[in-house]
Amino acid sequence: MVASYAHPEVLVSADWVEQHLNDPSVRIVESDEDVLLYDMGHIPGAVKIDWQGDLQDQLIRDYIDAEKFAAICSRSGIANDTTVVFYGDKSNWWACYAFWAFKLFGHEDCRIMNGGRKLWLDQKRPTSTEVPHYRPTAYKAQGSYEEEIRVFRDEVLAHSKAGKPLLDVRSPKEFTGEKLHMEDYPQEGALRGGHIPGAKSVPWGLAVNDDGTFKSAKELYKLYEGEVGLKPTDDVIAYCRIGERSSLTWFVLTYLLGYPKVRNYDGSWSEWGNLVRAPIAKGA
240 noted as active-site residue:
yes
Please, are residues 169 and 266 in contact by the beta-carbon 8 Å criterion?
no
Under 8 Å CB-to-CB from 119, ≥6 apart: which residues? 14, 211, 212, 213
DSSP 4-17: GSSSGGGEE-HHHH
Neighbour count for residue 104 (Cβ, 10 Å) = 22
| Alpha-carbon distances, residue 40 vs 12, 31, 36 (angstroms) | 24, 13, 7
Give the full edge-to-edge strand order of the sheet including 200-201. Answer: 200-201, 166-168, 236-239, 262-265
Instruction: Identify the bridge partners of residue 150 per DSSP, sorted by sequence position.
Output: 264
221: amino acid identity, one letter: Y
Question: Which member of 73, 96, 110, 240 is catalytic?
Answer: 240
156: amino acid identity, one letter: V
Distance linking the first and last C-alpha atoms of the chain: 33
- Give the separation between CA 273 and CA 271, rounded to whole angstroms: 6
Please, are residues 203 and 169 in contact by the beta-carbon 8 Å criterion?
yes
Q: What is the 3-state secondary structure (H, E, C) of 50-116?
A: CCCCCCECCCCCCECCHHHHHHHHHHCCCCCCCEEEEECCHHHHHHHHHHHHHHHCCCCCEEEECCH
Instruction: Identify the bridge partners of residue 111 per DSSP, sorted by sequence position.
Output: 85
Instruction: Identify the bridge partners of residue 166 per DSSP, sorted by sequence position.
Output: 237
Residues designated catalytic: 240
